[in-house]
Chain A
Amino acid sequence: MNPHRILLIDDEPAFTRVMRTYLQETGRFEVRMENDPRRALVAAREFAPDLILMDVIMPDVDGGELASAFKADARLSHVPIIFLTAIVSKEFVSSHHDMIGGRPFLAKPVDAKELVRAVDLALKAVA
């Protein structure tokens, strides 16, 4: 089975590196990282991901704006997005059923196993 393609957008290179390594080592995912949110739309069109993992607060363009841009793009509008953010706590996310504004959210620092579970769930939902 081909690995699922995940686009990881976060302005913190160390985070995307370690997360990409973790996910790829499971053997189930192919991960592309993008640290410049201004290039994220182009990267997404090129890479054609099955799922997008994305930070919320980033310089120049934030996660919300990017999500709108993806939704407006015919080739990307169906791609599930999971937000990763340091601005809310795990408890806040849990009390909102892991959803904010209709999108799944995970609070940083995220437990890697929980992240994989959330990714699997999101992929299953669109399969």
Chain B
Amino acid sequence: MDQRPISAICPPEELLKAILDRSSDAIILLDSEGRIREWSASAARLWGRRRDDVLGRDAGSILGASEEVVIEDLPGGSTTQEFQRSDGATFRGAVETHPLYAHRDVVTGTLLRVQDLSETDRAHQLIQDRERSLHETLKALRRSHESLKSTQLQLIQAAKLESIGRLAAGVAHEVKNPLAILLTGVQLLARRLASADAETREVLADLEVAVKRANHVIRGLLDFAAATELQLEAIDPGEIVKGAVALLQHEMRSRHVRLDQQLQAAVPALSLDRTKIEQIVVNLMINAMDAMPEGGVLTVRASVRALSQSGHGVGFRRTDLLRVGQTVVAIEIEDTGTGIAPETLARAFVPFFTTKAAGKGTGLGLAVCRSIAELHRGVVWLENKPDGGTRATLCLPAGESERRAA
């Protein structure tokens, strides 16, 4: 921009020129044919063309506008356009057009005022870049927050389980010793009273069963407590399913349960505690068999998929362990039984809750399953299938465990 002082006593034309050259916006005057009649210093700077080189030339070829500059009928009309400089670079400009009239309705030329928007655009771009980077930072922060929250929950859970474990081990020791006295005592009496009346022998037999039942509960409690430490190894979950199936093959046959095994081939190996995951699968399979006293079909499925929000029945309380959309290995066990009553479903994972006959279940099976699943950062849940029967799903994070194994 021309910075020389303006002389107030110069001829009007020169004064006008001086004023035009001091405008930061480009001022361009066109004649009625669209030829350039005046070209301010800012226009020269913006387009990189000297005044002498453009005067009298067609504006269309000089301005390099992306579209034809529309001369608005109304004075003061403004649009945004892209222009090309003499060196080929482009810039955006806000264009104001003012038709010049000789007299009514006769346009003799046009005054163009073009404001260079390059700086504004650059600032805008900078803001956008900053916003994007802020957004990315925020996303990363959220991710690490989620991960921290999940770790914290896991630690709390582990601490809880550890204290339960200590408690259980203590209780087990204190209860098993008196049980040992009772069992040997009952067996001693049974031997001494081998020729006693039937009723006495029956009472003694019942006592022995009762002691063994109490011991079974304690064992369940120890199992529950033992679910605090994992012996991890890289293993194909499908192999674990096959192992569980092999264990229960005989049981299924004798209970007239037909097996439908659907194991996807491309299930990735995960870092798992083989024994404990097998314990979950066996447990869920036994529950499925128990749900079909007359026999039926037991479906076992293993597949890789993205975790969906829908269909999470009871048991999916720790949603923060897995995210929707996360890749998981799902092991599903379905029965063709009568399904689970809603009030039972709601309490299925509560320790010591059982619907099985006295002595048949400790009420710890599903609680143990949940603890083990959560230690693997997975989840296990139960739901009634729309077409009848129950589906138990164990979801194990695919990426998570792999990362941990690395």
Q: Is the CB of B160 closer than 8 A to any CB of chain A?
A: no
Instruction: List residues of chain A with CB within 8 A of the CB of B212.
Output: 109
Q: Which listed residue, B181, B219, B223, touches A18 by the CB 8 Å rule?
A: B181
Q: Is the CB of A87 closer than 8 A to any CB of chain B?
A: yes
Complex contact B172–A112 (CB within 8 A): no
Complex contact B169–A109 (CB within 8 A): no
From B192, which residue of chain A is reached at the shortest CB distance?
Answer: A25
Complex contact A86–B184 (CB within 8 A): no
Interchain CA distance A14-B192 in the complex, whole Å:
18
Complex contact B188–A109 (CB within 8 A): no
Complex contact A89–B222 (CB within 8 A): yes
Instruction: List residues of chain A with CB within 8 A of the CB of B176.
Output: 86, 107-109
Q: List residues 4-28 of chain A with CB under 8 A from any CB of chain B.
A: 12, 14-15, 18-19, 21-22, 25
Complex contact B177–A108 (CB within 8 A): yes
Q: Is the CB of B297 closer than 8 A to any CB of chain A?
A: no
Instruction: List residues of chain B with CB within 8 A of the CB of A87.
Output: 169, 172-173
Q: Is the CB of A122 closer than 8 A to any CB of chain B?
A: no
Complex contact A15–B187 (CB within 8 A): no
Q: Is the CB of B230 closer than 8 A to any CB of chain A?
A: no
From A13, which residue of chain B is reached at the shortest CB distance?
Answer: B181
Instruction: List residues of chain A with CB within 8 A of the CB of B222.
Output: 89
Which range contains the number of B residues in contact with the other chain?
20 to 34
Q: Could you give, for residues 169-191 of chain B, a 1 whenever the CB lies within 8 Å of some chain A CB and a 0 otherwise?
A: 10011001101111111011001
Q: Is the CB of B84 closer than 8 A to any CB of chain A?
A: no
Instruction: List residues of chain A with CB within 8 A of the CB of B173.
Output: 57, 86-87
Q: Is the CB of B350 closer than 8 A to any CB of chain A?
A: no
Q: Is the CB of B327 closer than 8 A to any CB of chain A?
A: no
Instruction: List residues of chain A with CB within 8 A of the CB of B188.
Output: 18, 21-22, 25, 112
From A26, which residue of chain B is reached at the shortest CB distance?
Answer: B191
Contact status of A12 and B187, CB under 8 A, knowing A89-B219, A89-B222, A90-B219:
no
Contact status of A18 and B191, CB under 8 A, knowing A86-B176, A90-B219, A109-B211:
no
